[in-house]
Copies of this chain bind each other. A is one copy, B any other.
Protein backbone atom coordinates (compact mmCIF):
# COMPACT_ATOMS: atom_id res chain seq x y z
CA UNK A 1 0.00 0.00 0.00
CA UNK A 2 1.21 3.49 -0.81
CA UNK A 3 -0.50 6.84 -0.25
CA UNK A 4 -0.64 9.62 -2.83
CA UNK A 5 -1.91 13.12 -2.17
CA UNK A 6 -3.17 15.86 -4.46
CA UNK A 7 -3.32 19.46 -3.21
CA UNK A 8 -5.92 21.87 -4.60
CA UNK A 9 -6.97 25.44 -3.80
CA UNK A 10 -10.27 27.28 -3.92
CA UNK A 11 -11.57 30.69 -2.86
CA UNK A 12 -15.03 30.98 -1.35
CA UNK A 13 -17.28 33.16 0.80
CA UNK A 14 -19.21 31.81 3.77
CA UNK A 15 -20.39 32.54 7.27
CA UNK A 16 -20.71 30.22 10.23
CA UNK A 17 -24.22 30.85 11.48
CA UNK A 18 -27.52 29.08 12.02
CA UNK A 19 -30.52 30.52 10.18
CA UNK A 20 -32.77 29.59 13.13
CA UNK A 21 -30.71 31.79 15.48
CA UNK A 22 -30.60 35.58 15.73
CA UNK A 23 -27.50 37.50 14.64
CA UNK A 24 -26.81 38.14 18.34
CA UNK A 25 -26.96 34.45 19.24
CA UNK A 26 -24.79 33.58 16.22
CA UNK A 27 -22.24 36.21 17.22
CA UNK A 28 -22.18 34.92 20.79
CA UNK A 29 -21.48 31.33 19.68
CA UNK A 30 -19.52 31.77 16.44
CA UNK A 31 -17.86 35.15 17.02
CA UNK A 32 -16.58 37.11 14.00
CA UNK A 33 -17.11 34.05 11.75
CA UNK A 34 -20.85 34.82 11.86
CA UNK A 35 -20.57 38.27 10.17
CA UNK A 36 -24.01 38.61 8.47
CA UNK A 37 -22.56 39.95 5.20
CA UNK A 38 -20.17 36.98 4.87
CA UNK A 39 -16.39 36.75 4.89
CA UNK A 40 -14.18 34.37 2.90
CA UNK A 41 -11.08 32.26 2.61
CA UNK A 42 -8.49 30.72 0.34
CA UNK A 43 -9.11 27.09 1.18
CA UNK A 44 -6.43 24.45 0.64
CA UNK A 45 -7.56 20.84 0.23
CA UNK A 46 -5.40 17.71 0.25
CA UNK A 47 -7.04 14.55 -1.06
CA UNK A 48 -5.14 11.36 -0.16
CA UNK A 49 -5.72 8.12 -2.02
CA UNK A 50 -4.17 4.74 -1.19
CA UNK A 51 -3.61 1.64 -3.25
CA UNK A 52 -1.03 -0.70 -4.69
CA UNK A 53 1.46 0.32 -7.34
CA UNK A 54 0.50 -0.83 -10.83
CA UNK A 55 3.70 -2.54 -12.03
CA UNK A 56 3.07 -1.53 -15.65
CA UNK A 57 2.95 2.24 -14.95
CA UNK A 58 4.56 2.69 -11.54
CA UNK A 59 1.42 4.58 -10.49
CA UNK A 60 -1.22 3.93 -7.81
CA UNK A 61 -3.64 5.85 -9.97
CA UNK A 62 -3.43 8.37 -12.74
CA UNK A 63 -3.15 11.69 -10.91
CA UNK A 64 -4.78 13.52 -13.79
CA UNK A 65 -7.88 11.32 -13.34
CA UNK A 66 -7.91 12.09 -9.60
CA UNK A 67 -7.44 15.75 -10.37
CA UNK A 68 -10.35 15.65 -12.84
CA UNK A 69 -12.61 14.10 -10.19
CA UNK A 70 -11.68 16.75 -7.62
CA UNK A 71 -12.32 19.46 -10.20
CA UNK A 72 -15.69 18.08 -11.27
CA UNK A 73 -17.02 17.08 -7.83
CA UNK A 74 -15.62 19.93 -5.71
CA UNK A 75 -13.73 22.79 -7.35
CA UNK A 76 -16.25 23.60 -10.08
CA UNK A 77 -18.92 23.84 -7.38
CA UNK A 78 -17.11 25.82 -4.67
CA UNK A 79 -14.36 27.94 -6.27
CA UNK A 80 -15.27 31.65 -6.39
CA UNK A 81 -18.65 30.78 -4.88
CA UNK A 82 -20.60 31.29 -1.66
CA UNK A 83 -20.56 28.01 0.28
CA UNK A 84 -23.89 28.82 1.93
CA UNK A 85 -25.80 30.03 -1.15
CA UNK A 86 -24.25 28.47 -4.28
CA UNK A 87 -23.17 24.90 -3.38
CA UNK A 88 -25.66 22.06 -3.77
CA UNK A 89 -23.93 19.63 -1.41
CA UNK A 90 -23.79 22.20 1.42
CA UNK A 91 -27.48 23.18 1.31
CA UNK A 92 -28.95 23.37 4.80
CA UNK A 93 -25.59 22.69 6.48
CA UNK A 94 -23.37 24.89 8.65
CA UNK A 95 -20.23 25.64 6.64
CA UNK A 96 -17.75 24.86 9.42
CA UNK A 97 -14.46 23.43 8.16
CA UNK A 98 -15.36 20.12 9.79
CA UNK A 99 -18.69 19.80 7.97
CA UNK A 100 -17.21 20.97 4.68
CA UNK A 101 -14.49 18.30 4.91
CA UNK A 102 -17.06 15.56 5.59
CA UNK A 103 -19.23 16.68 2.67
CA UNK A 104 -16.22 16.83 0.33
CA UNK A 105 -15.39 13.26 1.37
CA UNK A 106 -18.91 12.16 0.41
CA UNK A 107 -18.54 13.82 -2.99
CA UNK A 108 -15.20 12.14 -3.69
CA UNK A 109 -15.50 8.64 -2.21
CA UNK A 110 -17.55 7.02 -4.96
CA UNK A 111 -15.73 8.36 -8.02
CA UNK A 112 -12.26 7.80 -6.54
CA UNK A 113 -12.92 4.25 -5.37
CA UNK A 114 -14.29 3.51 -8.86
CA UNK A 115 -10.72 4.07 -10.15
CA UNK A 116 -9.57 0.97 -8.28
CA UNK A 117 -7.91 2.76 -5.38
CA UNK A 118 -9.29 4.00 -2.03
CA UNK A 119 -10.00 7.46 -0.70
CA UNK A 120 -7.95 7.70 2.52
CA UNK A 121 -8.41 11.25 3.81
CA UNK A 122 -9.59 14.75 3.06
CA UNK A 123 -7.60 17.51 4.75
CA UNK A 124 -9.00 21.02 4.57
CA UNK A 125 -7.24 24.21 5.68
CA UNK A 126 -9.24 27.40 6.21
CA UNK A 127 -6.46 29.66 7.48
CA UNK A 128 -2.80 29.01 8.06
CA UNK A 129 -3.57 28.43 11.76
CA UNK A 130 -6.37 25.83 11.40
CA UNK A 131 -7.04 22.65 9.45
CA UNK A 132 -9.18 19.53 9.78
CA UNK A 133 -8.69 15.93 8.58
CA UNK A 134 -11.41 13.35 7.93
CA UNK A 135 -10.77 9.66 7.29
CA UNK A 136 -14.36 8.52 6.59
Which residues of chain B are within 8 angstroms of A18 by Cβ–Cβ distance?
Answer: 56
A44 to B66, CA, bound (A): 22
> Separation in Å of the A33 CB from the closest CB of chain B?
6
Q: Is A32 an interface residue (CB 8 A)?
A: yes
Which residues of B are found within 8 Å of A6, using beta-carbon distances? 129-130
Residues in B with CB closer than 8 Å to A95 are 58
Closest chain-B Cβ to A52's Cβ sits at a distance in Å of 10
Which B residues are in CB contact (< 8 Å) with A134?
2-3
Chain A interfacial residues counted at CB < 8 A: 59
- CB of A98 within 8 A of CB of B59, answer yes
Are B42 and A79 in contact, with the CB atoms below 8 A?
A: no
Q: How far is the CB of A72 from chain B (nearest CB, A)?
A: 16
CB within 8 Å for A41 and B41 given contacts A102-B53, A130-B4: yes
Q: Are A16 and B130 in contact (CB under 8 A)?
A: no
Pair A127/B42 contact, Cβ less than 8 Å: yes
Structural contact, B58 and A40, CB atoms closer than 8 A: no
Given contacts A7-B129, A60-B98, 12 further A-B contacts (CB under 8 A): A1-B135, A2-B102, A12-B40, A18-B56, A38-B38, A38-B40, A39-B79, A41-B41, A53-B98, A53-B99, A57-B94, A59-B98
